[in-house]
Structure 1
Amino acid sequence: MVSKLFAVALAASSLVSAQTFTDCDPTKKSCDPDPAFGKTVDIDFTKSNGEDYLYTLPGTKVTYDKEKGAVFSIQKETDAPTKASHKFIFFGELECTVQAANMQGIVTSIVLQSKDLDEIDWEWTGGDNANVQTNYFSKGDTTTYDRGGKHAVANPLNQFHKYGIVWNQNKIDWTIDGAVVRTLNAADVGDKYPQTPMQIKIGTWPAGNKNTPKGTVEWAGGYSDYEKAPFIGYYQNCKIVDYAGGNDAASGTPNAKEYVYGDKSGKWQSIKIVTGDGSDDDEKDETTTSAPATKTTAAPKTKTEEASETETETEKDDDDKTTSTTAAAAASTTLSSVVVSSTDAAESTGASATTSGADSDSAVASTSAGAASTVATAEPAGGMMNRANVAMGAIGLFFAFML
Structure 2
Amino acid sequence: MLPRLINTAALALTASRLVWAQTSSDCNPVDGDSCDPDPAFGDDEVMIDFTQGESDYFTAQDGTSMTYDDTNGAAFTISKEGEAPTIVSNKYLFFGKVSCVIQAAPGTGIVTSFTLQSDDLDEIDWEWVGSDTGNSQSNYFGKGDTTTYDRGAYHTTESATTEFHTYAVEWTSESIQWIIDGTTVRTLGYADATDTVTGDRFPQTPMQVRLGTWVGGSSDNSEGTIEWAGGLANFDDAPFVAYYQSCTIQDYAGGISGAKEYIYGDDSGDYDSIEVATADNSTTTSTETNSSKGTSSTATSDSTSTTATEATSTATSTAGPGSDDDNEDDNSNDNDNDDETTMITATKTASDSTATSSTNSTSSSSSTSTDPVGSSTGAHLSPSSFFLAAGTLLLGVFAL
TM-score scaled by length of structure 2:
0.65
Partner residue in 2 for 1:351: none
Partner residue in 1 for 2:273: 270
Partner residue in 1 for 2:82: 78
Partner residue in 2 for 1:298: 285
**Residues 125-274 of structure 1 aligned to structure 2 (within 5 Å):** 125-190=129-194, 191-245=200-254, 252-274=255-277
Which whole-Å deviations, capped at 9, do the CAs of 1:106-132 have from their partners, x for residues lacking one? 000000000111000000000101101
Q: Is the 8 A contact 2:9 2:81 kept in 1?
A: no
Q: Is the 8 A contact 1:19 1:142 kept in 2?
A: no
CA-based RMSD of the aligned residues comes to 2.2
Shift in CA distance, 28/243, structure 1 to aligned 2, threshold 3 Å: same
Shift in CA distance, 173/64, structure 1 to aligned 2, threshold 3 Å: same
Which whole-Å deviations, capped at 9, do the CAs of 1:303-323 have from their partners, x for residues lacking one? 99x979xxxxxxxxxxxxxxx
**Residues 114-129 of structure 1 aligned to structure 2 (within 5 Å):** 114-129=118-133
Q: Is the 8 A contact 1:111 1:202 kept in 2?
A: yes
Shift in CA distance, 14/201, structure 1 to aligned 2, threshold 3 Å: closer
Quote the Cα distance in structure 1 between the aligned partners of 2:262 and 2:49: 27
Task: Determine helix, strand or coil for the equivalent of 1:27.
Answer: helix
Q: Unmatched 5+ residue regions in structure 2?
A: 1-7, 14-20, 195-199, 289-309, 314-326, 332-400
Partner residue in 2 for 1:113: 117
Task: Determine helix, strand or coil for the equivalent of 2:208.
Answer: strand
Q: Structure 1 residue 267: deviation in Å? A: 0.4
Q: Is the 8 A contact 1:95 1:165 kept in 2?
A: yes
Is structure 2 residue 42 aligned with structure 1 residue 33?
A: no
Q: Structure 1 residue 214: deviation in Å? A: 2.4
Q: Structure 1 residue 210: deviation in Å? A: 3.0
Which whole-Å deviations, capped at 9, do the CAs of 1:276-320 have from their partners, x for residues lacking one? 1x2xxxxxxxxxxxxxxx12011113499x979xxxxxxxxxxxx
Is structure 2 residue 29 aligned with structure 1 residue 42?
A: no
Count of residue pairs brought into register by the alignment: 274
More helix by share: 2
Quote the Cα distance in structure 2 between the aligned partners of 1:94 and 1:58: 24
Partner residue in 2 for 1:103: 107
Q: Is the 8 A contact 2:10 2:220 kept in 1?
A: no
Q: Structure 1 residue 55: deviation in Å? A: 1.4
Task: Determine helix, strand or coil for the equivalent of 2:192.
Answer: helix
Letter of the structure 2 residue corresponding to residue 20 of structure 1: T
Partner residue in 2 for 1:67: 71
Which whole-Å deviations, capped at 9, do the CAs of 1:170-212 have from their partners, x for residues lacking one? 0000000010000000122231110000011000111112333
Q: Structure 1 residue 227: deviation in Å? A: 1.3
Letter of the structure 2 residue corresponding to residue 261 of structure 1: Y
Q: Structure 1 residue 56: deviation in Å? A: 1.1
Which whole-Å deviations, capped at 9, do the CAs of 1:238-271 have from their partners, x for residues lacking one? 00010000xxxxxx21111000011111100000
Letter of the structure 1 residue corresponding to residue 160 of structure 2: P
Quote the Cα distance in structure 1 between the aligned partners of 2:161 and 2:110: 11
Quote the Cα distance in structure 2 between the aligned partners of 1:178 and 1:240: 15
Shift in CA distance, 256/47, structure 1 to aligned 2, threshold 3 Å: same
Quote the Cα distance in structure 2 between the aligned partners of 1:75 and 1:120: 27
| Segments of 4+ moved more than 3 angstroms | 12-20
Task: Determine helix, strand or coil for the equivalent of 2:99.
Answer: strand
- Aligned-residue sequence identity (percent) comes to 52
TM-score scaled by length of structure 1:
0.65
Letter of the structure 1 residue corresponding to residue 49 of structure 2: D
Which whole-Å deviations, capped at 9, do the CAs of 1:72-124 have from their partners, x for residues lacking one? 00011121111100010000011000000010100000000001110000000
Quote the Cα distance in structure 1 between the aligned partners of 2:232 and 2:268: 41
Quote the Cα distance in structure 1 between the aligned partners of 2:250 and 2:130: 29
